[in-house]
Amino acid sequence: MPSILSKVLMPDWSVPYNCYEVGHTWTPSCTEAALELGNNLSQGLSKKFDSNGVKQSLQSIVRSSLFLSFNGFSVILLFCITRRLMGKFYYSMCAYTPAFIGSLLAIMIERPSRRPALAIYVANIASETIFRIFIARGYMKPVQHGEVFLFTVTMSVLLYIIKKNGFGSDPVSLALKFIVGREETKSCHSAHQQLLPIHPKDNSKSNLLRKLIDKFNSMFPKHESCPHRHRSCLTYISSAFLRSFFMGWFGKSVVKTLSKPRLLLLRPNKISDNFLNSDHLYFGLFLASFTAIYKGVNCSLRFASNQSHDWHSFIAALFAGPTMFLSPNTSITLYLMWKCIESLYCIGVKKGYIRFVMPTVHLVYALSTAQLFYSAVLEPKHMKPSYMKFLDRMTAHRLHLLNRMVLDVFGTDASAGYESFLPDFHLQYTTKRFQESLFD
């Protein structure tokens, strides 16, 4: 048994220093460090809710704050406990184990309705991080335009599920309803009902406009099973293209502009640069092309089969998916993939194909958070830069205070991207071995 444990712990990959010398270098007290990090995370979440969470109830804010605070508190506390139990920091235990156990306990505090969304969010970032690590270590080779292929398959399955079962109330479903529209999920059994004219108000201008629109629509065909009432297929597709382009281009430009308020105040002329940014234009073109092709293929298939079928959405998304070449985005693709996996899992449980296991969501969250904690501490170069900035902000820049020069012994480039930093230690709380390493 000791020999097996020795192999698992990988004794050659260890550091003999204590948690103050390696981790919470800003204070020698483990409890104080854990409470401080928990408080920082709670404050970060409170600021987030103050800015965009007006509709949230006080109870849900308190519960989410408590969940995040406990997550940070427990991870640091278990980080210290693991060191005391083991006598040193082992590579295989110093990051994954405390983060996994702490996150598994913390997720129990969060509202059950929010747990799946949190699990998908961290799984999305963790899977992207693991992919980068595998590429760097040579375990995998990058597939050219792989995110486009994955996006195409994912959207085909996801939109087929939505066509068959309707939109849900989750963020992904709401976003797709806003982008693609709800028309393609409605079953149109009564062609007569759809073709009934809408009588405008008794207004000469309104009547003239209606006559012009009706004249234009009469010039192009529309199948009786098409869900777009009183509009030709061409009008339906064209309006979807223009609406999606404006929504994608304008929305991304506004978000980018508002994300840098200081720059906006100091250099207001930069606003026009954001709206003329080619990335934003291509993103709008991607959304517009996807929506137009998706709806166009659906209309064509209704003409070809003389009725509407659920599988039309699958084929239409296969044709529309490659439009992501215009604006490739790995994060969006992975998030949709995890949402698709969740949807398939729920359908499998509902139909009895898969046995429901209660802790599945909890395990996904804990494993994903453990991976992110490990990467942030030992392999930060493989983390998404924007997420590292988010973690750094949420922890009040405590990631910069880790003694990364000591962690470099594991050969994972723990100090990559960080400035050289020697903490101001209180020597009475440091080990003799650490003091000797400082003054050698």
Span 234-253, average pLDDT: 89
Q: For residue 211, what pLDDT band results from cuts at 50, 70 and 90?
A: low
For residue range 324-373, what is the model confidence (pLDDT) as tens digits? 999 999 889 988 998 898 888 888 888 888 777 667 889 999 999 999 99
Residue 289 has pLDDT above 60, yes or no: yes
* pLDDT value, residue 38: 74
* pLDDT value, residue 1: 39
The encoded tokens of residue 121 equal: 């969010």
Residue 74 has pLDDT above 70, yes or no: yes
For residue range 94-116, what is the model confidence (pLDDT) as tens digits? 788 889 999 999 898 888 888 88
pTM of the model: 0.75
* pLDDT value, residue 315: 94
Question: Above pLDDT 90, what percent of the chain?
Answer: 18
User: Among 104-108, 145-149, 184-188, where is mean pLDDT lowest?
Assistant: 184-188
Residue 198 has pLDDT above 60, yes or no: no
Residue 51 has pLDDT above 80, yes or no: no
For residue range 187-197, what is the model confidence (pLDDT) as tens digits? 444 333 444 44
* pLDDT value, residue 365: 92
* pLDDT value, residue 43: 65
Instruction: Please provide the average confidence, as pLDDT, over all residues in the chain.
Output: 79
Q: For residue 7, what pLDDT band results from cuts at 50, 70 and 90?
A: very low
* pLDDT value, residue 45: 55
Q: For residue 150, what pLDDT band results from cuts at 50, 70 and 90?
A: very high
